[in-house]
Amino acid sequence: MARFSPLEWPVIRQLRTGDRFGRGPAVESPRSKALESRLATADRMVQSVCPFCAVGCGQQVYVKDERVIAIEGDPDSPISRGRLCPKGASSEQLVNNPSRQTTVRYRAPYATDWQDLDRDTAIDMIADRFVQARRDHWRETDAHGRPLRHTLGIASLGGATLDNEENYLIKKLFTAAGAIAIENQARI
Ligand code: SF4
């Protein structure tokens, strides 16, 4: 065990290090001194936006070896000014979660199992169903001949992760297609 030096007495250490109130280096243990912030080990920081809800808080995403290692609030964001709610602060777990789905999953009618689809096939299938449902349920007029020109065959229900720009485009698309049932968390 190393000999204790009088220079290491707390009050002397406080005077010696200029930490008069004992709130800084004078009271750091050797273990604390050796610790390094995980952010300091990152290769780079990328500014981004929290994907969880329509508030759109700014995030600083820290990357090491092309992997996200930490996500912090971005003080440059005029919306959140460095803050994140608990959900936003835990979004690193969303990125690196081993259960995260990274492919399009499809369960065919009456099938009991899911299968992977490539994205182009999935988008084509959605577009075909969209057009067909619109066509099948188009209402030109009501029972009295008054113009309706809408469809109840398609609807949009948006979740919290859609941002304003996405909601704006979805609203334009569905309204142009004649849908009247359009809803999302961040209403526009
Ligand atoms: S989930 Fe929280 S941190 Fe993320 S955008 Fe919404 S309020 Fe901000």
Q: How far is the CA of 162 from the centre of ligand 1 (A)?
A: 12
Ligand 1: residues whose CB is within 6 Å?
A: 50, 52-53, 55-57, 80, 84-85, 87-88
Q: Which long-range contacts (CB under 8 A, 24 or more apart) does 70-75 make?
A: 70/38, 70/39, 70/42, 71/95, 72/39, 74/47, 74/48
Pocket test residue of 71, 84, 161 for ligand 1, highest count of atoms within 8 A of CB? 84
Q: 169 is written with which tokens? A: 């485009």
Rg, Å, the chain Cα set: 28
Q: How far apart are CA 116 and CA 104, in angstroms?
A: 6
Q: 170 is written with which tokens? A: 């979805």
What is the band of 2 on the pLDDT scale with cuts at 50, 70, 90?
Answer: low
1 has a pLDDT exceeding 90: no
Q: How far is the CA of 80 from the centre of ligand 1 (A)?
A: 9
On whether the pTM is more than 0.85, the answer is no
138-176 residue pLDDT tens:
999 999 999 999 999 999 998 877 877 888 999 999 999
Cα 182 versus chain centre, distance: 23
- Tell the CATH topology of 44-96: N-terminal domain of TfIIb (2.20.25)
Question: What are the domain boundaries of the chain?
Answer: 1-35, 44-96, 137-184
Contacts with 155 (C-beta within 8 Å, 6 or more apart), sequence order: 174, 179, 181, 182, 183
Q: How far apart are CA 150 and CA 135, in angstroms?
A: 10
Q: How far apart are CA 187 and CA 168, in angstroms?
A: 9
188 has a pLDDT exceeding 60: no
Q: pLDDT value at position 140?
A: 97
Q: pLDDT value at position 30?
A: 87
Residues 34, 56 contacting (CB under 8 angstroms) = no
118-140 residue pLDDT tens:
999 999 999 999 999 999 999 99
Q: pLDDT value at position 59?
A: 97
Q: How far is the CA of 179 from the centre of ligand 1 (A)?
A: 30
Q: How far is the CA of 69 from the centre of ligand 1 (A)?
A: 19
Q: pLDDT value at position 75?
A: 97
14-69 residue pLDDT tens:
998 889 888 988 888 889 889 999 899 999 999 999 988 878 899 999 999 999 99
